[in-house]
Amino acid sequence: MKIGTISNLLSAEVLCGADELDSEVHSACASDMMSDVLAFVKDQAVLLTGLVNPQVIRTAVMMDMRCVVFVRKKAPTEDMIALAAEAGIVLMKSNLRMFEACGILYSEGLCGSKEGTANA
């Protein structure tokens, strides 16, 4: 799925990385606990979260994620946006709840892992 398609499906505002919207991603995860992302998530390209702090961006960088979507009307700070832009990570924000956002992406074919099974 293209990152731009994710933006459209979630009615998400792109905050940085608009030049990467044609990039393909094949998996996603959702968590507000970055320790769970670090411990259990493998090969995920998109992170959905309601946690708004710089650790989200640092975690995404460590895990080689390509896109972070903030849900529940959460908005990252300007410092977080700059950090993501520097790392080449697309940032978006959506008004949807995490459950709704995950359901939409899953129903459109975005899996929890490359093998098609959830990791966390």
Q: What is the pLDDT of residue 24?
A: 94
Q: What is the pLDDT of residue 90?
A: 98
Residue in the structure block whose two tokens are 């832009």: 85
Domain covering 3-107 in this structure, CATH number: 3.40.1390.20
Tokens representing 90? 């697309």
The pTM (predicted TM-score) of the whole model is 0.91
Tokens representing 47? 């992170």
Other C-beta atoms within 10 Å of 81: how many? 17
Interval 1-11: pLDDT, tens: 999 999 999 99
Q: What is the pLDDT of residue 114?
A: 53
Rounded to 5°, angle at Cα 40 from 37 and 42 = 85
Q: What is the pLDDT of residue 113?
A: 64
Q: What is the pLDDT of residue 117?
A: 41
Q: What is the pLDDT of residue 43?
A: 79
Q: Which residues of the chain have pLDDT under 50?
A: 115-120
DSSP code per residue over 37-103: HHHH--S--EEEE---SHHHHHHHHHTT-SEEEE-TT----HHHHHHHHHHT-EEEE-SS-HHHHHH
Rounded to 5°, angle at Cα 72 from 114 and 30 = 20
Q: Is 7 helix (H, G, I), strand (E, B) or coil?
A: helix
Q: What is the CA radius of gyration of the chain?
A: 12
